[in-house]
Amino acid sequence: AQSVTQLGSHVSVSEGALVLLRCNYSSSVPPYLFWYVQYPNQGLQLLLKYTTGATLVKGINGFEAEFKKSETSFHLTKPSAHMSDAAEYFCAVSESQAGTALIFGKGTTLSVSS
Protein backbone atom coordinates (compact mmCIF):
# COMPACT_ATOMS: atom_id res chain seq x y z
CA ALA A 1 0.00 0.00 0.00
CA GLN A 2 1.13 3.51 -0.70
CA SER A 3 1.79 6.03 2.01
CA VAL A 4 3.28 9.48 2.48
CA THR A 5 5.11 10.87 5.48
CA GLN A 6 5.73 14.57 5.87
CA LEU A 7 8.35 15.24 8.51
CA GLY A 8 7.42 18.19 10.66
CA SER A 9 3.86 19.41 10.97
CA HIS A 10 5.09 22.98 11.33
CA VAL A 11 8.15 24.69 9.86
CA SER A 12 9.15 28.28 10.63
CA VAL A 13 11.62 30.31 8.61
CA SER A 14 12.66 33.93 8.29
CA GLU A 15 11.96 35.90 5.15
CA GLY A 16 14.80 35.29 2.70
CA ALA A 17 15.85 32.00 4.28
CA LEU A 18 15.87 28.59 2.62
CA VAL A 19 12.63 26.64 2.73
CA LEU A 20 12.89 22.84 3.05
CA LEU A 21 9.78 20.73 3.49
CA ARG A 22 10.38 17.01 3.76
CA CYS A 23 8.38 14.20 2.17
CA ASN A 24 9.05 10.47 2.13
CA TYR A 25 6.85 7.99 0.35
CA SER A 26 6.22 4.29 0.19
CA SER A 27 5.11 2.68 -3.04
CA SER A 28 5.45 -0.77 -4.53
CA VAL A 29 5.36 0.58 -8.08
CA PRO A 30 6.98 3.60 -9.73
CA PRO A 31 5.21 6.55 -8.17
CA TYR A 32 3.79 9.80 -9.37
CA LEU A 33 4.59 12.50 -6.80
CA PHE A 34 3.01 15.87 -6.19
CA TRP A 35 3.25 18.93 -3.98
CA TYR A 36 0.18 21.05 -3.36
CA VAL A 37 -0.27 24.32 -1.46
CA GLN A 38 -3.36 25.39 0.45
CA TYR A 39 -4.23 28.86 1.71
CA PRO A 40 -6.81 29.21 4.51
CA ASN A 41 -10.34 28.13 3.58
CA GLN A 42 -9.36 27.39 0.00
CA GLY A 43 -8.81 24.34 -2.14
CA LEU A 44 -5.42 22.91 -3.02
CA GLN A 45 -3.27 24.31 -5.81
CA LEU A 46 -0.70 22.20 -7.63
CA LEU A 47 2.88 23.43 -7.07
CA LEU A 48 4.74 20.79 -9.03
CA LYS A 49 4.68 17.15 -10.02
CA TYR A 50 7.01 14.30 -10.88
CA THR A 51 5.74 11.62 -13.25
CA THR A 52 8.65 10.49 -15.42
CA GLY A 53 11.86 11.96 -16.79
CA ALA A 54 14.01 14.56 -15.04
CA THR A 55 14.19 13.99 -11.31
CA LEU A 56 14.60 17.68 -10.46
CA VAL A 57 11.23 19.29 -10.96
CA LYS A 58 10.57 23.01 -11.03
CA GLY A 59 7.21 24.41 -10.08
CA ILE A 60 5.42 27.66 -9.58
CA ASN A 61 6.45 30.48 -7.23
CA GLY A 62 10.12 29.45 -7.28
CA PHE A 63 9.65 26.04 -5.67
CA GLU A 64 11.39 22.88 -6.79
CA ALA A 65 11.62 19.27 -5.66
CA GLU A 66 13.93 16.37 -6.38
CA PHE A 67 12.81 12.78 -6.72
CA LYS A 68 15.36 10.49 -5.05
CA LYS A 69 14.37 6.89 -5.60
CA SER A 70 17.14 5.48 -3.39
CA GLU A 71 15.93 7.60 -0.48
CA THR A 72 12.21 7.36 -1.37
CA SER A 73 12.08 11.11 -0.91
CA PHE A 74 10.57 14.09 -2.70
CA HIS A 75 11.57 17.12 -0.62
CA LEU A 76 10.31 20.59 -1.52
CA THR A 77 12.70 23.54 -1.51
CA LYS A 78 12.77 27.25 -2.23
CA PRO A 79 16.01 29.25 -1.98
CA SER A 80 14.48 32.38 -0.45
CA ALA A 81 11.23 32.48 1.49
CA HIS A 82 8.69 35.21 0.98
CA MET A 83 5.90 36.23 3.35
CA SER A 84 3.36 35.10 0.77
CA ASP A 85 4.70 31.52 1.01
CA ALA A 86 3.05 31.09 4.41
CA ALA A 87 0.50 28.32 3.85
CA GLU A 88 -0.04 24.61 4.32
CA TYR A 89 1.79 22.24 2.00
CA PHE A 90 0.81 18.71 1.11
CA CYS A 91 2.85 15.98 -0.50
CA ALA A 92 0.92 13.29 -2.39
CA VAL A 93 1.67 10.03 -4.16
CA SER A 94 -0.18 7.86 -6.62
CA GLU A 95 0.62 4.74 -8.53
CA SER A 96 1.74 5.45 -12.07
CA GLN A 97 -1.64 4.67 -13.49
CA ALA A 98 -4.16 7.07 -14.87
CA GLY A 99 -7.04 7.90 -12.58
CA THR A 100 -5.58 6.34 -9.45
CA ALA A 101 -6.58 8.16 -6.30
CA LEU A 102 -3.90 10.30 -4.67
CA ILE A 103 -2.72 9.53 -1.15
CA PHE A 104 -1.87 12.68 0.79
CA GLY A 105 0.46 13.35 3.67
CA LYS A 106 -0.82 15.12 6.76
CA GLY A 107 0.56 18.45 5.68
CA THR A 108 3.20 20.90 6.83
CA THR A 109 2.31 24.43 7.85
CA LEU A 110 4.95 26.92 6.77
CA SER A 111 5.27 30.15 8.75
CA VAL A 112 7.43 33.01 7.46
CA SER A 113 8.56 35.79 9.79
CA SER A 114 9.96 39.17 8.82
Contact positions vs other proteins (CB under 8 A): 9, 32, 34, 36, 41-46, 49, 51, 90, 92, 94, 97-107
Closer residue to other proteins, CB minimum distance, 51 or 113: 51
Q: How far is the CB of 32 from other proteins (least distance, A)?
A: 6
CA distance 47 to 59: 5
Spatial CB neighbours of 80, under 8 Å, sequence gap ≥ 6: 16, 17, 18, 62
DSSP 59-74: -GGG-EEEEEGGGTEE
Q: 4 or 13: whose CB is closer to other proteins?
A: 4
The residue (of 25 and 36) whose beta carbon lies closer to other proteins is 36
